[in-house]
Amino acid sequence: MAGVLLMLVTPDPASADGNGVVIGVVSDKQQAVVAHNRMTAYLQRAGCNATVRIGSRVEDAALVFHPGEAPADQRSVLLAANRKSELPRSVWVSRRTAGVRSLSELEGRDLAVVSGPDPVGSDQALAALADAGVTPAGEQLYQTGDFSSALGLVLHNNTHAAVSESGFVEPMLESNDLVVNWVGDRMQTGGWFRGESWDLSAVVCEDALAAMTRSDDRQIFAIFPEWVHGFIRPEGLKAEEGSK
């Protein structure tokens, strides 16, 4: 966390004149130093003169990424999207050999979820269990820090099932002999919001963030939830839904 605090008070050389657009990311990830430097460089190359701040709280920013639900009275300008450029869906995943046919069969089993403010990692999936009449006891619920760790518990036979995200886990299913037992509805969670200091100079930064993907730079995306692959504009999402 010391690295995070350092970043909150140390301006980037390119923005030392105080005219840079402040870009904030609400995150407690430990890889923040490398991500901070690489995101700053990426934005500069895209024409966005930015000061990047990463931490559990970010103030006075023109653009802020929040995981989880949107802040009160704010509308996202970019939505977090999965590997398929779609809104995320929570899934329950188990080993094929476990033979799970319904969520009710997870009663009394050890399960892995992802802790934190992102509802993809636990909230929706646990609500689905409750609808199926399954309420895991505290000692049956393993809280992990990311989706890879949750899947690891299943693969190493430490838990019977794990929460994941549909786009994130899809490439891993066949090679690891995993199956999806339940798929939730798509949800809007996580995104970029305009802060009080936003002005037209931040538009070029919004465009740069919209073009940024995990495939291009995984180290930048270490500060975002693991399923986030990029960002999409809400108006583009509505147009896509209207064409279906």
Give φ, ψ of 53 to 5 degrees.
-125, 130
Looking at residue 30, its pLDDT comes to 64
Give all strands of the β-sheet with 21-26 in edge-to-edge order: 50-55, 21-26, 63-66, 191-194, 76-81, 230-232
Provide mean pLDDT across the span 36-62: 95
Sort 114 into a burial class: Cβ within 10 Å, 0-12 / 13-18 / 19+.
Answer: buried
Give φ, ψ of 52 to 5 degrees.
-95, 130
Q: Report all structural domains of the chain as residue ranges with CATH numbers, in order of start.
A: 2-84+188-242 (3.40.190), 90-183 (3.40.190.10)
Provide mean pLDDT across the span 191-209: 95
Q: Contact 110/143 with Cβ under 8 angstroms?
A: no
pLDDT tens for each residue of 94-137: 999 999 999 999 999 999 999 988 999 999 999 999 999 999 99
Measured CA distances, 93 to 150, 163, 184 (Å): 10, 6, 12
d(CA 217, CA 213): 7
Looking at residue 240, its pLDDT comes to 53
What is the reported pTM? 0.86
Q: Give the chain's mean pLDDT.
A: 89
Provide mean pLDDT across the span 20-25: 95
Looking at residue 210, its pLDDT comes to 98
The four Cα atoms 179, 183, 186, 192 give a dihedral, to 10 degrees, of -50
Looking at residue 39, its pLDDT comes to 97
Provide mean pLDDT across the span 44-53: 96
